[in-house]
Structure 1
Amino acid sequence: MATTTFSIVTPEALRFEGQAELVIVPGSEGELGALPRHAALVTTLKPGIVRANTVGGDGKTVERREFAIGPGFAQVLPESVTVLVDAAWEKSEVDVEATRAELRALRERPSSSEAEAEVLRITEHVLQAKIRVAGGHE
């Protein structure tokens, strides 16, 4: 089974690193799927969900992993996929009710400028992705 090294990196930590058969990222122009030996590219990422079919240490077990991410970049090389983002959460790390409360508070907050409105919009998309990755269907 061919695999690629898959990593998610935030400013705080290496959030995940392992082998994957397939990685799907939310590119700014749509979803992008990367298989082993994919052509090299760099793309911007919008807030959303990264999905990966990761391979266990035995080289046979495949597990579907999902991460909610903030905006960032992905570098795809023939032997690796690296996701560089502001923040990332795996399903088990998301408290759906707390995230919904945060989203409600954000939507009630007025913005004083176009730049602030854009930051609030991006934050809203990140919170929605966190809820979706945890199965909350926002």
Structure 2
Amino acid sequence: MSKIKVNIVTPDGPVCEMDANMVIAVTEAGEIGVLPGHIAMVAPLQIGALRLKTDGKTETVAVHGGFIEVRPEVVTVLAQSAEMAKSIDIARAKRAAEKAEADLKAKTDSLDLRLAELDLKRAINRMQVYEQRV
């Protein structure tokens, strides 16, 4: 089966460079699947799991916003932050979720509430991606 090159980059540097048979991402418009030869496109990403399928195996990456750029031969993910499932510190993710939940209860300002909601979504995403690892 043919493959597509995948590059995942954050402001801190590259997270992953690999070849995959299929890339599945959660965009603002919904979930998309990208195969080699896909039409060129750019889409904003939501907080969610990016799945990279290669030869019957799936690598999962926790992605927290950003953009996916698709070209027929390469997929580039420019993420605000991204973490491979095998690199996630689950204890840290659980602590972050607990802190975000406490902040949601304590905050009254709408901006602070929104930031706490985003913190909670990111922590939950990291925990779910960790649980999906193979």
Same fold, TM exceeding 0.5?
yes
Q: Which residue of 1 is the match for residue 2 of structure 2?
A: 2
The aligned runs of 1:43-54 (5 Å cut-off) are 43-54=43-54
SS in 2 for 1:74: strand
Whole-angstrom CA distance in 2 between matches of 1:111 and 1:95: 27
- Which string of whole-angstrom CA distances, capped at 9 and with x for unpartnered residues, describes residues 80-131 of structure 1? 1111111111111112232112111111113353233222222211111100
Task: For 1:46, give the aligned amino acid.
Answer: Q
Scaled by the length of structure 2, the TM-score of the pair is: 0.89
Q: Which residue of 1 is the match for residue 115 of structure 2?
A: 119
Aligned length: 130
Scaled by the length of structure 1, the TM-score of the pair is: 0.86
Cα RMSD of the aligned pairs, angstroms, is: 1.6
Q: Which residue of 2 is the match for residue 12 of structure 1?
A: 12
**Does structure 1 conserve the Cα–Cα contact (< 8 Å) formed by 2:38 and 2:72?**
yes
Whole-angstrom CA distance in 1 between matches of 2:56 and 2:13: 24
Task: For 2:68, give the aligned amino acid.
Answer: A
Whole-angstrom CA distance in 2 between matches of 1:38 and 1:114: 40
SS in 2 for 1:37: coil
Q: Which residue of 2 is the match for residue 57 of structure 1?
A: none
1:133 to 117, 129, 132: 129
Task: For 2:9, give the aligned amino acid.
Answer: V
Q: Which residue of 2 is the match for residue 26 of structure 1?
A: 26
Q: Which residue of 2 is the match for residue 107 of structure 1?
A: 101
Whole-angstrom CA distance in 1 between matches of 2:70 and 2:131: 28
SS in 2 for 1:36: coil
